[in-house]
Amino acid sequence: MTPEIAEVQDFLGGHHPFDLLPEEARAAAARTIEIAYVRKGATVLAPGAPLAHLHIVRTGAVESLAPDGRLLGRAAEGECFAAQDLLRGGVAGGRTAAIEDCLIYLLPAETFSTLRREHPAFGGAFAVFDGGGLAAAVEAAPEHKSFDLLSRSVGDLLTRGPVTVPRSASIREAAAAMQAERVSSALIVEGGELVGILTDRDLRGKVVAAGRSGDEPVSAVMSPQPMCVQAGDPSFAALLLMSRHGIHHLPVLDKGRLVGCLSSSVLAEAQTLSPLTITRAVHAAAAAAELPPLVRRVPRVAAQMAEAGATAHSVGQVVTAVTDAVTRALLRLAEAELGPPPTPYAWLAAGSQGRQEQTAVSDQDNCLLLDDRFDEAAHGGYFAALSRFVVDGLAACGYAYCPGEMMAATPLWRQPLSAWRTYFERWIREPEPRALMLSCIFFDLRCIGGKAALWEDLSRAVLEESRRNRIFLAHMAANAMHHAPPIGFFRGFVLVSDGAHDNTLDLKHSGAVPIVDMARVHALSAGIAAANTQERLLAAAEAGEISRQGAMDLKDALEFIGLTRLRHQARQIREGAPPDNFLDPKTLSGFERGNLKSAFQVVKEMQASMASAYQLSRF
Partner 1 sequence: MWSPLFGTDITRWGLAALCPPGPLKSYYRIDTPTADTPYTRAEFLAVDIETTGLTRGDEIVSIGFVPVIGGRVRLAGAEHLLVRPNCPVGEAAAKVHGLLDDRLAAAGPLEAALARLLAALAGRIPIAHHAAVERAFLSRACRAVYGRPLVTPWADTLALAKRNATRGNAVLANGELRLSSCRRRRGLPRHRSHDALADALACAELFLAEAAACSGKAPAPLRDLL
Q: Which of 12, 20, 27, 30 binds partner 1 (CB under 8 A)?
A: 30
Q: Give the helix/strand (H/E) hosting 198.
A: strand 193-199
Q: Which stretch binds partner 1 (CB under 8 A): 95-103, 168-176, 528-536, 547-555?
A: 95-103
32 binds partner 1 (CB under 8 A): yes
Question: Least Å distance between CB 137 and partner 1?
Answer: 28
Q: Closest Cα to residue 394, out of 449, 315, 340?
A: 449
8 binds partner 1 (CB under 8 A): yes
Q: Which stretch binds partner 1 (CB under 8 A): 100-108, 199-207, 379-387, 575-583?
A: 100-108
100 binds partner 1 (CB under 8 A): yes
CB 71 within 8 A of CB 497: yes
Q: Closer to partner 1 at the Cβ: 106 or 321?
A: 106
Report CA-CA distances (Å) from 577 to 158, 320, 572, 574: 21, 22, 5, 8
Q: Closer to partner 1 at the Cβ: 33 or 298?
A: 33
Question: Least Å distance between CB 92 and partner 1?
Answer: 17
Q: Name every residue whose Cβ is closer than 8 Å to that of residue 556 and which is 6 or more positions away in sequence.
A: 133, 134, 135, 137, 138, 599, 602
Q: Name every residue whose Cβ is closer than 8 Å to that of residue 256 and which is 6 or more positions away in sequence.
A: none
Q: Closer to partner 1 at the Cβ: 32 or 311?
A: 32
Q: How far is residue 379's CA from residue 139's CA, in Å, rounded to a whole number?
A: 54
Q: Closer to partner 1 at the Cβ: 97 or 462?
A: 97
59 binds partner 1 (CB under 8 A): yes
Question: Least Å distance between CB 196 and partner 1?
Answer: 55
Position 71, amino acid: L
Q: Closer to partner 1 at the Cβ: 103 or 396?
A: 103
Question: Least Å distance between CB 115 and partner 1?
Answer: 15
Q: How many CB atoms lie within 10 A of CB 581?
A: 19
Question: Least Å distance between CB 7 and partner 1?
Answer: 6
CB 71 within 8 A of CB 63: yes
* Three-state secondary structure call for residue 165: strand
Q: Name every residue whose Cβ is closer than 8 Å to that of residue 12 and which is 6 or more positions away in sequence.
A: 18, 19, 21, 26, 29, 30, 56
Q: Closer to partner 1 at the Cβ: 34 or 193?
A: 34
Under rule CB under 8 A, how many of the chain's residues touch partner 1?
25
Sites for partner 1 among residues 103-162 (CB under 8 A)? 103, 106
Question: Least Å distance between CB 37 and partner 1?
Answer: 4
Dihedral, CA of residue 62, residue 66, residue 68 and residue 70, to nearest 10 = -70
Q: Closer to partner 1 at the Cβ: 101 or 254?
A: 101
Q: Closer to partner 1 at the Cβ: 38 or 350?
A: 38
Q: At what angle do helices 452-468 and 513-526 cross, to 10 degrees?
A: 90
Q: Closer to partner 1 at the Cβ: 36 or 208?
A: 36
Q: Which stretch binds partner 1 (CB under 8 A): 6-14, 172-180, 336-344, 552-560?
A: 6-14
55 binds partner 1 (CB under 8 A): no
Sites for partner 1 among residues 9-28 (CB under 8 A)? 11
Q: How far is residue 488's CA from residue 600's CA, in Å, rounded to a whole number?
A: 8
Q: How far is residue 381's CA from residue 291's CA, in Å, rounded to a whole number?
A: 25
Question: Least Å distance between CB 52 and partner 1?
Answer: 12
Q: Closer to partner 1 at the Cβ: 104 or 165?
A: 104
Report CA-CA distances (Å) from 562 to 136, 289, 306, 441, 506: 17, 32, 10, 20, 12
39 binds partner 1 (CB under 8 A): yes
Question: Least Å distance between CB 40 and partner 1?
Answer: 9
193 binds partner 1 (CB under 8 A): no
Q: How many CB atoms lie within 10 A of CB 433?
A: 9
**Helical segments of 443-487, H only:** 452-468, 470-479
Binding residues vs partner 1 (CB under 8 A): 1, 3-8, 11, 30-39, 58-60, 100-101, 103, 106
